Amino acid sequence: MQQQPTLAGFQFFIANIMQIGANDLPPNSAVVAWALSFAIQIVNPALRGVSTCGPPIPGLPPVSVYVTAIYNLAASLVINFAQDQSGRKFFEKLRAKFNINGFVSGVIQSASDESTSQNMVVQEAAKKFTLSDLQRLKDPYGRMYLQIAQGYGPSTVGIS
């Protein structure tokens, strides 16, 4: 049976994978349910058909690629939109660390100064990134979501 995303599962992800405590983000915060709901709408449902990863660990269910993609995208959305609790600055600091509020219009193709020069190949998928995709590149959960989505074909990223 294929694993499905749940609010309890995402709350577990926030507390145990993201390591965000209840003092910084109460499990019943509206942004938690909103981010999960939004991610479910965005993640390509074709990923449901991808078999689970790895052998089951005794006591733990197999890991679903589909659910992992949803939880990572939802985590990125939480970082972008969660409000700090009164007197706390957890998300303010996290957004500053990842430059979440800084505008990025694309990926760097080359850079140089007087003594050095570097040129990186820009993959075809990056040439078609939407503003949403560029925003997701800023935090580790958004990048993980994009890695999963791209791993299953160009039709799983953005609208293309």
Q: Quick: pLDDT tens for 120-134.
A: 555 566 656 665 676
Q: How confident is residue 51, by pLDDT bands cut at 50, 70 and 90?
A: low
Rounded Cα distance, 62 and 53, in Å: 6
Q: Is the per-residue pLDDT at 154 higher than 60? A: no
Task: Classify residue 149 by its DSSP letter.
Answer: H
Q: Is the per-residue pLDDT at 157 higher than 50? A: no
Summarize the confidence of residues 46-64 as an average pLDDT: 72
Q: Which residues is 118 bridged to in the sheet?
A: 111
How much is the mean pLDDT over the chain? 80
Q: How confident is residue 48, by pLDDT bands cut at 50, 70 and 90?
A: confident
Domain spans in the chain, listed from the N-terminal domain onward: 7-101+133-156
Q: Report the predicted TM-score, pTM, of the whole model to 2 decimal places.
A: 0.77
